[in-house]
Structure 1
Amino acid sequence: MGALDNLEPKSVFHFFEEISQIPHGSNNVQAISDYLVKFAKDRNLEYIQDEARNVIIFGNATKGYEDKEPVILQGHMDMVAVHDADYDIDMTTEPLKLETDGKKIWAKGTSLGGDDGIAVAYCLALLDSDTIPHPRLEVVITTNEETGMDGAFAIDLSPLKGRKLINIDSETEGVLLTSCAGGARFYARLPITKVHRSGIAYDIEVSGLHGGHSGTEIIKEYGNANVLLGRILAYVSEQNCVSCLSLVSIDGGVADNAIPVNSKATVVVSEEVSEEEVLRSVSEIEGVVKGELSVKDPGVKFTVTKKNKGTFDCFDAESMKKVYRLIMSLPNGIQAMSASVPGLVETSLNLGVVVTKDTTVTLEYAVRSSVDSSKDNLLKRLEYITAEFGARSEITSSYPGWPFNPDSKLREHMVEVFEKMYGRKPQISALHAGVECGLFGKKLEGLDCISIGPDMEGVHTTAEKLSVESSARTFEYLCEVLK
């Protein structure tokens, strides 16, 4: 028996569990894409699989709906694949281990992939059913949304006839998302010079942070492990004068759009420096940071682990200084709040990944703004600062925002259905995060979009959970909208 066999609706959770058995982290989507193709073939459904591994499946209209306009249902097949540091799993090859208490679903030691596995499960349940009434369905499942909407950029939508699109990539039930921020990925690539250095190696690690989605959670101002690690290195090297400290490597985070919860640096100090002095120096800055984050992120922890003695390839003094000063000089977090939508972040960025490879340290940021000129200005600011440190900038995956459509017939219909079902109006919302509606709107003239989804928490983290009851209600609502 599967872990979700007793949950309703059975078809939805059956397909959700099947998906969870196929590793499908971003950039590891071949297997999940082929699974979708097999699903279509087994049911004699027309399908398209492109070179980017996007899949479009066409579902025939049920009896009485043959003359109705097709509806596009859309989600993405990839997930942010992260696991706890002490949980032994290879998420590129091993399935998720789902658990449930009947009210929520989570995965042991890993992220769940409710974002956006629930969309795929909804779509497959609809395509598999011969009892749910609906017009012709054009189901679009894209690849690598979490790493820059690569699939949405690559996909050819010309075969689609529908001009009403329901995106299923939101995370709060009862909310109709009607616009979102645009964004881009920014890389700062800093060249480093290495020297041989003898001494004792230590690992300095930041952990225990809340983390979360860098769009929806950035407003909570959780600690960023990469930024904090840069601060530690600056303090230990300059403020507290631990002599002869050299940097071997610095690495942290898993994705640009996930607020990093772990970051680690390996350093070498001379044998004359005692372990107590190193511990004391890190403890001093830890006390300061804990005070600052006592309410926002109280679980933050700094760990120092003594390793072996030897000779190591280290950054030279100038390279090490540039690394931590660049981390501290580049902005991070909220840059501006919306003047027109109370409580909505307008512009932000997140240092999601730091990685050391050979003679380069790369900083990777997710940049977001609902105002295109503000996004462009922030990217230019990043370029200027990066250049001052002798580093190279690269901007990729720039995608447009999704503007509010004041004449949306789809929104009117979905509000009306919601009121009839629940006796209240849904919330009409904007989001400081990217969904693929903006890109789809650029490709299909006259496209009318709404984004919905069930309640989720902790997305992009190992604390991710999906509400069972909310998933059931949201599916019921989607079916009623199609009916």
Structure 2
Amino acid sequence: MAMLSTLSPNTLWKIFSDICNIPHPSHHEEMITKYVVDFANRNKIKVEVDQVGNLLLTKPATPGMENYPSVALQAHLDMVPQKNEDTKHDFLVDPIQAYIDGDWVKAKGTTLGADNGIGLASTLAVLVDPAVEHGPIEVLLTASEETGMVGAFGLKPNWLKSQFLINTDSEDEGEIFVGCAGGVDFKQSLPIGYALIPEHHDTFIQLSLKGLKGGHSGCDIHLGLGNATKLLVRFLAEYAADINFRLSEISGGSLRNAIPREAFAAITLNKQDLAKLNEMISAYQATLENEYAGAETSISFSATNLTREQVKRVMEQDSHKKIIDWLHCAPNGVVRMSKQFAGVVETSLNLGVVYIKDDKITANYLIRSLVDSAKDNVVSMLISQSQLASIEYQISGGYPGWQPDPQSPLMQLVKDKYKALFNQEAKIMVIHAGLECGLFKKPYPHVDMVSIGPTIVSPHSPDEKVNIKSVEQYWKLLLATLKAVKQLV
């Protein structure tokens, strides 16, 4: 990671290297908060912490720019903790092992945390880099964005004083985001009936579906990637239907806003059916490789032996069938593309996590939409499905979208500066992912907002990487905008 500090812009990359050394998954931001507070105190910058863990740093203008309008730079403190199964990493203790690979910065076997660590580093770098010219600056750092936008929900009115806000959580350099999807969590739960293992079942198998790319359930939902849970259940419902097997355990995914990369099921069966099971696994592997050619390149579907001691019980036949049927027909993926914004998903849902706990199986979805009524329709659809199957459900964590403002002066300024710097037009975009700007609009309805950032590929997965050149271009755009904000008044 020492090599990161050799990259440009130097101050930004040095701070990002520090951030990689500090554990900061969602809801565990104590150490990163201490780092920021110490950073502010060391550099004589005013810092406050609110009741939900948000931080606000304020710095006066560069001499001669006191009459410029105040600008708030915003990032979130937390990162998504995802790792490959064979990677030994404790996100509460271990540093992220970032490294340079050609034009990219990546992490060894885990998420990198460029989402939103690069944005976080850039906001702090603005405060301390002597080459940066700016008017009055506020830096707002929000808590636990990745697991429900906790900090944004708790943001109080009258704390921020700025007329303009630049969110740093976008992931495509050259694009200026002026709107985003709203979202809501939907949870389904079903009690499981258990039974003793049938006497004629003498073979115990774990099915593992791994090697999928996963990714962000907003940014990547339209890419045709596989959902490991859905694909595993499809095998149980279709391919294995002719085998007399019984389900013992099933799980998939780890975050509701990440497309599941891995899924697992423990089953029991008679040894005489094992050869047929292995034939079906090979056939299904070939089917997936054919169907997902060009999208998924490392799919691995396999069976490994378990011992009798590892499989204590199986599901009753009714529970076994109902769970497979329910998850097999569970909706997932793009519901509708936007008719207003070409190539943008309007409405989607992600079956993000399936797990068993306390004799109950639970499925967590994240529903997103640019249109509130369309989001409500997906919720209604899941309610109907739940009622048909007598499944318990819970709706929570709803957050609004960010309505685009085509007359935004800040958007026009950023667009003009991009053209001047790079001699090409920036794209004005709406993102299907959730940005905190939608929630900021409630306590601060008159603040003009845009979102920009570097190019980050596969956020929320261990394949996450950030393009080095795009970080430098993002930094130049940010600084040029801050220097020119006087034009806005």
Shift of 1:157: 4.1
Is this contact kept in 1: 2:47–2:55, CA < 8 A? yes
Secondary structure of 2:295's aligned partner: coil
Secondary structure of 1:299's aligned partner: coil
Is this contact kept in 2: 1:25–1:78, CA < 8 A? yes
Secondary structure of 1:214's aligned partner: coil
CA distance in 2, matches of 1:236, 1:312: 25
Secondary structure of 2:105's aligned partner: strand
Runs of 4+ more than 4 Å apart = none
What corresponds to 1:377 in structure 2? 377
Shift of 1:291: 2.6
What corresponds to 1:277 in structure 2? 276
Count, aligned residues? 479
The letter for the 1-side match of 2:288 is V
Secondary structure of 2:313's aligned partner: strand
Cα deviation 1:217-272 (Å, max 9, x = unaligned): 1111111001111112212552xx211x22221111121111111111111224x4
1:39-50 superposed matches below 5 A: 39-50=39-50
CA distance in 1, matches of 2:132, 2:294: 48
2:206 aligned with 1:203, yes or no? Answer: yes
What corresponds to 1:143 in structure 2? 143
The letter for the 1-side match of 2:103 is K
Which shows bigger deviation, 297-306 or 12-21? 297-306
Shift of 1:300: 2.0
The alignment's TM-score, normalised by the length of structure 1, stands at 0.95
2:158 aligned with 1:155, yes or no? Answer: no
Shift of 1:288: 3.0
1:197-276 superposed matches below 5 A: 197=197, 199-238=202-241, 241-243=242-244, 245-270=245-270, 272-276=271-275
The letter for the 2-side match of 1:242 is I
Cα deviation 1:115-144 (Å, max 9, x = unaligned): 000011001111123331111111111122
Shift of 1:422: 1.8
1:331-480 superposed matches below 5 A: 331-480=331-480
The letter for the 2-side match of 1:203 is Q
Q: 1:273 to 1:28 in 2, by over 3 A?
A: farther
The letter for the 1-side match of 2:238 is Y
CA distance in 2, matches of 1:130, 1:7: 18
What corresponds to 1:328 in structure 2? 328
The letter for the 2-side match of 1:206 is L
What corresponds to 2:487 in structure 1? none
Cα deviation 1:52-111 (Å, max 9, x = unaligned): 222111122111122222101111111111111111111221101111146211111111
The alignment's TM-score, normalised by the length of structure 2, stands at 0.94
Shift of 1:43: 2.1
CA distance in 1, matches of 2:267, 2:29: 36
Is this contact kept in 2: 1:218–1:334, CA < 8 A? yes
The letter for the 2-side match of 1:201 is F
Cα deviation 1:165-223 (Å, max 9, x = unaligned): 10001111111111111111111111111222164321101112122111111111111
Which shows bigger deviation, 288-297 or 118-127? 288-297
Gaps of 5+ in 2: 484-489
Shift of 1:289: 3.0
What corresponds to 1:190 in structure 2? 190
Q: 1:378 to 1:318 in 2, by over 3 A?
A: same
Secondary structure of 1:312's aligned partner: coil
What corresponds to 2:173 in structure 1? 173
Cα deviation 1:25-57 (Å, max 9, x = unaligned): 122222112221221222222222123222111
Is this contact kept in 2: 1:71–1:137, CA < 8 A? yes
CA distance in 1, matches of 2:389, 2:288: 26
Is this contact kept in 1: 2:218–2:368, CA < 8 A? yes
Secondary structure of 1:131's aligned partner: coil
Cα deviation 1:305-333 (Å, max 9, x = unaligned): 11113461222111121212111222111
2:164 aligned with 1:164, yes or no? Answer: yes
CA distance in 2, matches of 1:470, 1:341: 24
Gaps of 5+ in 1: none
What corresponds to 1:294 in structure 2? 293
The letter for the 1-side match of 2:296 is D
What corresponds to 1:2 in structure 2? 2
Is this contact kept in 2: 1:206–1:229, CA < 8 A? yes
CA distance in 2, matches of 1:283, 1:250: 20
CA distance in 2, matches of 1:314, 1:50: 49
Shift of 1:406: 2.1
Secondary structure of 1:66's aligned partner: coil
Is this contact kept in 2: 1:25–1:91, CA < 8 A? yes
Is this contact kept in 2: 1:150–1:397, CA < 8 A? no
Secondary structure of 2:34's aligned partner: helix
What corresponds to 2:121 in structure 1? 121
Is this contact kept in 1: 2:185–2:396, CA < 8 A? yes
1:301-320 superposed matches below 5 A: 301-310=300-309, 312-320=312-320
Is this contact kept in 2: 1:329–1:385, CA < 8 A? no
Secondary structure of 2:218's aligned partner: coil
Is this contact kept in 2: 1:256–1:350, CA < 8 A? yes
Secondary structure of 2:179's aligned partner: strand
Is this contact kept in 2: 1:187–1:365, CA < 8 A? yes
What corresponds to 1:27 in structure 2? 27
Secondary structure of 2:424's aligned partner: coil
Is this contact kept in 2: 1:7–1:102, CA < 8 A? no
Is this contact kept in 1: 2:243–2:273, CA < 8 A? no
What corresponds to 1:73 in structure 2? 73
What corresponds to 1:111 in structure 2? 111
